[in-house]
Structure 1
Amino acid sequence: MDTQDVSVRPEHLALITAILELPSGQRLPCWDDPDLWFSTEPFEQLAAMAGCRACPVRPQCYAAADAAGERFGIWGGQPFPAHTTPQLAP
């Protein structure tokens, strides 16, 4: 495959760059339990969203997911699609 045929969205490039610029040894919250970010359980989705709060690449993650039209999971602290915000029962 010719590399000139490959296009990368600017949002994805920004995310990759931000990850590569992390201090050595720093891990992202989603790396330790990635299944949590794709759970269908509201409590687990809320836990994933909370895990994103201190993530240093949160804005880039959200922008990349939005640009790609992600249809499932928690990206940049937000559920995708955006209208599926999990709610806990009272």
Structure 2
Amino acid sequence: MTAKTMNQTEANLRATLTTLAERWEQMAKAAPDFDGDELFIDEPTPVQLQQFERATTYGRAAADLREVLRVGRIPHGLMTDAELDAHGAAQ
């Protein structure tokens, strides 16, 4: 594989991962907003709570993926003990 081909492959991979992060962010926005200014009379339904949790997970995954693309390593919160030792624990 030539250097040019490797650069194209990496660029394509980065574009694909960026698109994936964008889609996860869109999915995260579809959740019910429990932090808004609206007054809730009724408790959220189990379905709404599941939608909210799923959206939170999608949003975190998108942020983690963007972090990996930006800095080139796994985010601190997802590192194993061995990785934390190698990179230094956060103070």
TM tier, shorter chain?
0.3 to 0.5
Normalization by structure 1: what TM-score? Answer: 0.33
Bigger share in strand: 1
Normalization by structure 2: what TM-score? Answer: 0.33
Bigger share in helix: 2
